């Protein structure tokens, strides 16, 4: 399988460290986000988009990203979708003055990337809730919804097709900072892309 590509954002951050130190096979290469126009995405299997990415810039590259998806690429996108850089995405909804019941992670579908990970361990980090997600997005109607936030009709993690490819969307803090050392989500995402794309 081709390597993964992660777009860096100019400063060191725990999220990028978690992604590149996961020891994935194949490896995940880091490139500065603004070098995207000069990159042939056909050289990569997965495009990782951090929550710290300049989405306004990505929106200007939306056609390049869509063509990558149509040809069979996978985009793993994190954060709140504030600019239209992903095809078929609608807006997000902020939950003001949320309580724990509003941001409890609900598992709607089992999926190999999250296999064996208790949703409570996503809701809480050292007893504190909110790291995994605090807003919900409108998912495309044919999306496979893995997790919702508070209520089943408020999608948080979902996978949907674009051409021969897929978008794995996570509307919160970077996915690869979760799962702990023994259930590293970056490695699981690469394994899923490699052979087990269990998507409808």
Partner 1 sequence: MSLAILDGGTFYHHAAIHGQRYRELFDKTIYAPELTADALVGVTFLIVPDRVNPNILRTKRDVLIDFAKAGHTLAVFGENRADTWLPGVTWAPRPTNFWWWLDKDARPPNRLLASEHEFFQAVPFEHTIWHFHGVLTPPAGARALIDVPADPQGRDSGGALLYEDRVTLPGSMLVSTLDPFYHHGSNFMPAATKLLDGFLPWARAKAALRAYSSDV
Residue 124 touches partner 1, criterion: CB under 8 A: no
36 to 55, contacts with partner 1 by CB under 8 A? 51-55
3-state SS of the chain is CCCEEEEECCCCCHHHHHHHCCCCCCCEEEEEHHHHHHCCHHHCCEEEECCCCCHHHHHHCHHHHHHHHHCCCEEEEECCCCCCCCCCCCCEEECCCCCHHHCCEEECCCCHHHCCCCHHHHHEECCEECCCCCEEECCCCCCEEEEEECCCCCEEEEEEEECCEEEEEECCCCHHHCCCCCCCHHHHHHHHHHHCCCCC
130 to 189, contacts with partner 1 by CB under 8 A? 130, 134-135
Between 130 and 161, CB nearer to partner 1: 130
Between 9 and 67, CB nearer to partner 1: 9
Judged by CB under 8 A, which of 37, 38, 128, 182 binds partner 1? 128
Judged by CB under 8 A, which of 56, 71, 99, 164 binds partner 1? 56
Note the residues at the interface with partner 1 (CB under 8 A).
9-14, 32-34, 51-57, 79-83, 94-96, 126-128, 130, 134-135
């Amino acid at each position: 399988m081709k390597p993964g590509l992660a777009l860096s954002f100019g400063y060191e951050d725990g999220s990028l460290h978690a992604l590149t130190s996961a020891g994935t096979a194949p490896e995940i290469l880091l490139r500065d986000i603004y070098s995207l126009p000069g990159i042939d995405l056909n050289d990569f299997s997965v495009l990782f988009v951090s929550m710290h990415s300049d989405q306004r810039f990505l929106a200007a590259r939306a056609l390049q990203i869509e063509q990558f998806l149509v040809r069979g690429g996978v985009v793993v996108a994190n954060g709140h979708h504030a600019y239209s850089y992903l095809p078929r995405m609608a807006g997000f909804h902020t939950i003001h003055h949320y309580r724990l019941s509003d941001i409890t992670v609900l598992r709607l579908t089992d999926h190999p990337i999250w296999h064996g990970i208790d949703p409570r361990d996503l809701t809480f980090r050292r007893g504190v809730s909110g790291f995994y997600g605090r807003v919900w997005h409108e998912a495309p109607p044919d999306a496979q919804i893995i997790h919702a936030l508070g209520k089943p009709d408020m999608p948080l993690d979902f996978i949907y097709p674009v051409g021969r490819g897929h978008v794995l969307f996570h509307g919160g803090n970077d996915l690869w900072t979760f799962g702990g050392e023994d259930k590293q989500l970056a490695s699981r995402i690469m394994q899923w892309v490699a052979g087990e794309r269990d998507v409808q």
